[in-house]
Amino acid sequence: MAKKELKLFIWTNFSPDYSGGLAFAIAENETAARKAIEKDRGYSVYDWGDLEIRRIDWRVARSVSGGS
């Protein structure tokens, strides 16, 4: 079975009101990413803004430690 390639979909200026928002999803394609975001929101998105698509390299990890 072939491994499915996932991508990171990032929308800037997403669903703007007084300022632009941000949305992201990790999915196989743009359609699946949009559906996942609309499912999370519970309603349809009217203005998606600008889309950037990034390849995902699962060998990369990042973290941020808490502090005072």
Q: At residue 5, what are phi and psi to the nearest 5 degrees?
A: -85, 120
Per-residue DSSP letter, 28 = S
What pTM does this model have? 0.78
Q: What pLDDT was estimated at residue 3?
A: 66
Q: What pLDDT was estimated at residue 59?
A: 67
DSSP letters of 43-68?
A: S--S---EEEEEE--TT---------
Local confidence pLDDT in tens for the 68 residues of the chain: 566 789 999 999 999 988 889 999 999 999 999 999 999 999 999 999 999 999 887 666 677 777 76
